[in-house]
């Protein structure tokens, strides 16, 4: 069992981010296949991933929730990330739902399973009732379909809000 255990689903452990999985996290965030729709592109250097991971860890320390690492139970392999972190948008504070998965594990329901669990955890155990949003690109059909399968709907008033091509889905 994970020492940093937070949530268990049928096939996953969702754990707090830690440097234990830095290399695996970098592999996912540096893979061009997982960054097709990321305007910043893939991480080129380990320090980019380290800075991102440190920010995630700081959010956890301050708020007792945040982005989680997805550990597949069967293989004990870190396969991706998902979670909720605070996001300020138009004078409102939302919870930003993010997810990124190793290409070897896509289209198997892991992201939906993990997102449902983390949303339930933050709403029911941590007692946060902020509106949840997911930001993606209009042509990221897989991400849009994942958010819609979780009950999110596109709010067109936010289209292109932060960058051209942005689409925002809200729970």
Domains and CATH numbers, the chain: 5-170 (3.40.630.30)
Measured distance CA(87)–CA(168) in Å, rounded: 13
The CA distance from 5 to 165, in Å, is 36
| pTM metric for this prediction | 0.92
Q: Are strands 92-101 and 132-137 parallel, antiparallel or unpaired?
A: parallel
What count of other Cβ atoms lies within 10 Å of the Cβ of residue 110? 21
Distance CA 65, CA 84 (A): 7
Three-class SS of residue 72? strand
pLDDT in tens, the chain (171 residues): 345 768 999 999 999 999 999 999 999 999 999 989 887 789 999 999 999 999 999 999 999 999 999 999 999 999 999 999 999 998 999 999 999 999 999 999 999 999 999 999 999 999 999 999 999 999 999 999 999 999 999 999 999 999 999 999 999
């Amino acid at each position: 069992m994970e020492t940093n255990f937070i949530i268990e689903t049928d096939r996953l452990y969702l754990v707090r981010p830690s440097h234990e999985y830095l290399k695996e996290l970098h592999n996912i965030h540096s893979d061009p296949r997982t960054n097709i729709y990321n305007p910043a592109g893939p991480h080129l250097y380990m320090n980019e991933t380290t800075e991102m991971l440190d920010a995630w860890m700081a959010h956890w320390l301050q708020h007792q929730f945040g982005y989680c690492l997805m550990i597949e139970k069967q293989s004990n392999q870190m396969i991706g990330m998902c979670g909720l972190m605070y996001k300020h948008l138009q004078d409102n504070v939302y919870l930003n739902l993010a997810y990124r998965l190793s290409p070897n594990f896509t289209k198997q329901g892991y992201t939906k399973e993990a997102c449902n669990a983390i949303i339930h955890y933050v709403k029911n155990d941590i007692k946060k009732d902020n509106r949840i949003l997911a930001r993606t690109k209009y042509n990221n059909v897989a991400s849009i379909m994942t958010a819609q399968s979780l009950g999110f709907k596109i709010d067109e008033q936010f289209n292109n809000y932060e960058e051209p091509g942005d689409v925002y889905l809200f729970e």
